[in-house]
Amino acid sequence: MENNTFKKAGFLGLGLIGGSIAKAIKKYHPDIALIANASSERTVSAAFSDGIIENSALLPLSEFASCDLLFLCAPVDVNQEYMKKLSPVLKEGCLLTDVGSVKTPITRAFEGSGLSCSFIGGHPMTGKEKGGYSNSDPILLENAYYVLTKSSRSDENLLFRFSSFIESLGANTIVMDTKNHDRSVAAVSHVPHIIASSLVRLLMNNDDPDEHMKQIAAGGFRDITRIASSDPNLWKTIFLENRDAVLSLLDAFLAEAGEYKKALLENDGKALHDMYESSRDFRDSMQIKKKGALSECFEFYVDIADEPGALATIALILSAHNISIKNIGIVHNREYEQGVLRIETYDAPSMEFSVELLEQKGCTIYRRK
């Protein structure tokens, strides 16, 4: 694909997200020159060996002066430190962007930095459970929402050009102001992570000595607490960076939970029914085709006979077609499940191919809505 927008792009940070963006640029715009720094020279060397970037070792910041597009892909606090160091480096006309999940602090840092370049905040709402450059993949951007936020000094024409560029990488852009973005992600991602962690702690601190709660926890409980397995250091930083929005939405959540508590105290079955029905209807109206703020889980369920070799046969069919299974297990609590065997793959294409193969073999497949 021909590129008429950017000639040279740089990356400060080359982990899962930075690496995926760099690989997508190299895939769709091979004419753009790419350079990068990372926290480890080994990462830079790996990206050079992959043919993604032009430098094989770490670079001084002065080398990024020739970039007309620079991605800040380090942790939020590190990106803010970069702002202080980039002022004498970046040329006028360079577009500076980031990939953090909180936009207000980095935008304030830019506006107080004295940088003469333009800044457009970026938040690719995608990811994997495993981070790092080694897990990066250009497919990570495909059909993912990529939120763009502008500062008071952002150029509308540049915003349009950058939005078109990001969409050329397979993503779907949404333009929001910083405050609305931070409040939105607090609602759909940050507070849910707190709730998931709280639910796990609820089970952990209230189980009996024989751990019966833990034993029967499956189905719905496993699904709504999956994100509680995320990196504590990463999420501690995110919670603190988006503290005001998280506190506001956490209060709103507690108020909603309080309505359920009130209905229970008053034995108000109608209120319980109406609240649950309205939330069900709203949830069912959500679009689920595109990737959102929470990482996706590529899983399906299979009915298999309770006989020797049944599970091994399924695994053999998939491995014979080079499908990597991320997780596989028997579901003992089937209160909320259809299918006794749960299979999770690493990506959507692998899941779809697995379902196709097993259906051809006569297996009954169930998917979660």
Q: What CATH number should be reported for the domain holding residue 214? A: 1.10.3660.10
Assess whether 277 and 311 both reside in one domain. Answer: no
138-177 pLDDT per residue, tens: 988 888 899 999 877 778 888 999 999 999 999 999 999 9
Q: Which residues contact 64 (CB under 8 A, 6 or more apart)?
A: 10, 12, 35, 70, 86, 89, 90
Instruction: State the pLDDT at residue 291.
Output: 56
Assess whether 128 and 149 both reside in one domain. Answer: yes
The token pair at 237 is: 């930083």
Rounded alpha-carbon distances, angstroms, from residue 212 to 94, 216, 224? 58, 6, 19
Q: Per-residue confidence at 336, pLDDT binned at 50, 70, 90?
A: very low
Q: Which amino acid is at 360?
A: Q
Question: Could you give phi then psi for residue 37, rounded to 5 degrees?
Answer: -115, 155
- Terminal-to-terminal C-alpha distance of the chain: 36
Which domain covers residue 254, as residue numbers?
182-284
Residue 161 inside a domain? The answer is yes
Q: How many domains does the chain have?
A: 3
Assess whether 32 and 138 both reside in one domain. Answer: yes
Q: Which residues contact 314 (CB under 8 A, 6 or more apart)?
A: 302, 304, 328, 341, 343, 358, 363
92-142 pLDDT per residue, tens: 889 999 999 999 999 988 888 878 778 999 999 887 767 899 989 998 888
The residue out of 150, 176, 202 marking a domain boundary is: 176
The token pair at 264 is: 């229970």
Assess whether 197 and 345 both reside in one domain. Answer: no
Which tops the pLDDT comparison, 225 or 261? 261
Residue 290 inside a domain? The answer is no
Assess whether 260 and 147 both reside in one domain. Answer: no
Question: Could you give phi then psi for residue 49, rounded to 5 degrees?
Answer: -65, -30
Decide: pTM greater than 0.85.
no
Residue 45 inside a domain? The answer is yes
Find the mean pLDDT for residues 329-344: 59
169-224 pLDDT per residue, tens: 999 999 999 999 999 999 999 999 999 999 999 999 999 999 999 888 866 787 78
Evaluate if residue 337 carries a pLDDT over 50: no
Instruction: State the pLDDT at residue 10.
Output: 97
Averaged pLDDT of the chain: 86
